[in-house]
Amino acid sequence: MDAAGVTAPPIRAFAAHVWQIAPAQVRNAAFGLGLSLCAAAMVSADEGVQGWIPEVLAMPEDAEVVVDRAIGSTVRMYSIMTGADIDVLFSEWEESLGNNGYPVTEDTEQVLDRAIEFSGPGIVNAKIIAAPASEDGRRIIEFDATLD
């Protein structure tokens, strides 16, 4: 009760009232958002790396899946977040890809931006890039590919 003698309705009652009067589209959107957030929270690196990503790429142990998307039958996007040293990781990946039948294309821009572009068995072309580090030092690594 406040100074004027008015008591606010309990939050549960208010939420239930809003839920009842909200249009169906808003309720469906809220429900869908909730499901999406739950699904995103359940995704982890334990589920494994996508089959199209070359097995020669050793993923960091702390890798967390951020995006896992297929567009049509040939375009793939996959992102992980990690605290691993990107320079070391990318150097290892470039060497591993090159030594295992995945030719790596590199130009000056890619060296500066920390990107790896490659092709190989089942992959027409693919690119791995690292986003700038977040405040906690972790970075997102994005894998984009066009498959055969």
Q: Which two tokens stand for residue 111?
A: 């060296």
Q: Are residues 75 and 143 in the same domain?
A: yes
Same-domain check for residues 31 and 80: no
Task: Quick: pLDDT tens for 8-18.
Answer: 556 566 556 55
| Residue span of the structural domain in which 17 resides | 11-41
The fraction of the chain above a pLDDT of 90, given in percent, is 54
pTM over 0.75: no
The reply to whether 35 and 65 lie within a common domain is: no
Task: Give burial (CB, 10 Å; 0-12/13-18/19+) of 97.
Answer: buried
- 55 and 119 in a single domain? The answer is yes
Q: Is 75 left (phi over 0), alpha (psi -120 to 50) or beta?
A: beta
Residues 25, 92 within the same domain: no
Q: What is the DSSP letter of 106?
A: -
- How many angstroms separate the CA atoms of 77 and 142, rounded? 7
Contact criterion met (CB below 8 Å) for 107 and 95: no
Provide the percentage of residues in the chain whose pLDDT is more than 70. 62
Please indicate, yes or no, whether residues 35 and 48 belong to a single structural domain of this protein: no
Residue 65 has pLDDT above 50, yes or no: yes
